[in-house]
Chains A and B, each alone.
Chain A
Amino acid sequence: MADVTLSKVNVPPAQTWNYLKINGLSLEVPAVTGGEGNLPDRLTRIETGIGDAATAWIDSAVPEPRLISVPARTDLDEPILIEVESDRGELASTGVIVHEGAHATIVVVAADTERAAAGMTDERAAQSGIEAVVAEPGKAVPETDKPISASLLRISADRNAKVDVYEYVAVPTSCRHIEGAAIEADDDAFIEVHQYLLGGGTVAAGLAVTQRGARSSFKLDTHYLVHENELLDMNYVARVRGRNARTRIDASGVLSDGAEKTLRDTIDLICGCKGAKGDENETVVVTGDNIVNRSLPVILCDEEDVQGNHGATIGSMSVDQLQYLRDRGLTTDEAEELFGRAVVDDAALNAPVKAARNAVLSRAAELIGDEAAADLIEIFENDQEVGE
Chain B
Amino acid sequence: MSEQLLTIKGLTAGTEDKVILSDINLEVGAGETHVLMGPNGTGKSTLGRIIMGDPAYKVKEGTITFDGEDITEASADKRSLAGIFLSYQAPVEIPGVPLYSFLRTIADKRPDLKMVGRKFRKRVGEICQQLGIPESFLTRDLNVGFSGGEKKKIEMLQLLLLKPKLAILDETDSGLDVDALSVVSKAIAAYKEECNGSLLMITHNTRILERLQVDHTHVMVNGHLAAHGDASLISQIDAEGFERFEKAAEGDAR
A–B in direct contact per CB < 8 Å:
no
Chain B: residues with CB nearer than 8 A to chain A? none
Chain A: residues with CB nearer than 8 A to chain B? none
